[in-house]
Amino acid sequence: MLITYNPDKLTRQSFFQELTNYLQTHDDVTLRQIKRDFPEIPKLDRAIEDYVQAGYVARQDKRYTLTLPLLEKAEQVTLDQMIFVDTESPVYEELQALTFETELANATNQAIIKEKTDFARNQLTLSNYFHKLRTAQPLSSEQEKLYAILGDVNQEYALKYMTTFLLKFGRRDLVKQKRSDIFMQALLMLGYLKVVDEQTYALNMKFDKETLVFKVD
């Protein structure tokens, strides 16, 4: 099966996904065949023309073939790059094993949160969560639990309160907080804080007090 990571407006279309997988298993396909097999697609001719112009589908002698630039080497990949990959190919397994480091800065202070992620950004991290919201990509099951706490929150607004609280650990190892808000609840779910007692919390991240970098291993 062919899948697209980090699709743009064109490749996000459901028909694009259906057609590319169709052409992968069908040779010398005519427009009449495509219309027969996808009768429910409106403006099908226009959509196919867009794919041809983008170089994803080739048309020759009124027949269509797939020219999708499939990923061949996982080491070429950068995070958030749009790629096309065959899930049956060895490179797909290599892609699944890749890890990347992300950084979250904010406009309120100099604190930076560094996290690690998989290429698909399905792991439960703040960077992945905000990225999925920003790009309107579906959340993973773990991220859905975080959404139940934070909802469609503004990234700068959330980071303002989260980092302000985290920076308190620059002065002491344990921080007392009488009331737990949604941002603290999110930090607890992420595992970035741990409860010492009912109103006392400890940091569960590495913190460089000189650079103000919080790092998750």
CATH code, 66 = 1.10.10
Domain boundary among 97, 114, 146: 97
The mean pLDDT value of the chain amounts to 96
Task: Give me the number of domains the chain comprises.
Answer: 2
124 with 81, same domain: the answer is no
Domain boundary among 97, 131, 159: 97
Q: Is the pLDDT of residue 165 over 90?
A: yes
71 with 133, same domain: the answer is no
For the stretch 6-28, pLDDT in tens is: 999 999 999 999 999 999 999 88
36 with 117, same domain: the answer is no
DSSP, collapsed to helix, strand or coil, labels residue 195 as: strand
141 with 80, same domain: the answer is no
Q: Is the pLDDT of residue 76 over 90?
A: no
160 with 208, same domain: the answer is yes
Q: Is the pLDDT of residue 123 over 90?
A: yes
13 with 49, same domain: the answer is yes
Query: What percent of the chain is modeled with pLDDT above 90?
Result: 95
CB 190 within 8 A of CB 183: no
208 with 104, same domain: the answer is yes
Distance in angstroms (rounded) separating the CA atoms of residues 86 and 93: 10
CB 176 within 8 A of CB 73: no
For the stretch 193-206, pLDDT in tens is: 999 998 999 999 99
- Per the structure, the complete domain to which residue 29 belongs is given by 1-97
Which pair of tokens denotes residue 9? Answer: 């407006």
DSSP states along 13-57: SHHHHHHHHHHHH--SEEHHHHHHH-TT-TTHHHHHHHHHHTTSE
pLDDT band at 179 (very low <50, low <70, confident <90, very high): confident
pLDDT value for 217: 80
pLDDT value for 89: 96
60 with 155, same domain: the answer is no
pLDDT value for 180: 84
Element (H, E) at 201: strand 200-203
Distance in angstroms (rounded) separating the CA atoms of residues 104 and 214: 10
Q: What is the mean pLDDT of residues 172-180?
A: 91
Q: What is the mean pLDDT of residues 39-54?
A: 97
pLDDT value for 145: 97
CB 27 within 8 A of CB 1: no
123 with 155, same domain: the answer is yes
Domain boundary among 69, 97, 125: 97
pLDDT value for 198: 86
Which pair of tokens denotes residue 165? Answer: 């609280």
Name the CA dihedral angle for 116, 121, 126, 132, rounded to a multiple of 10 degrees.
160
pLDDT value for 153: 96
35 with 109, same domain: the answer is no
28 with 51, same domain: the answer is yes
Backbone angles phi, psi at 51, to 5 degrees: -70, -35
Q: Is the pLDDT of residue 4 over 90?
A: yes
89 with 150, same domain: the answer is no
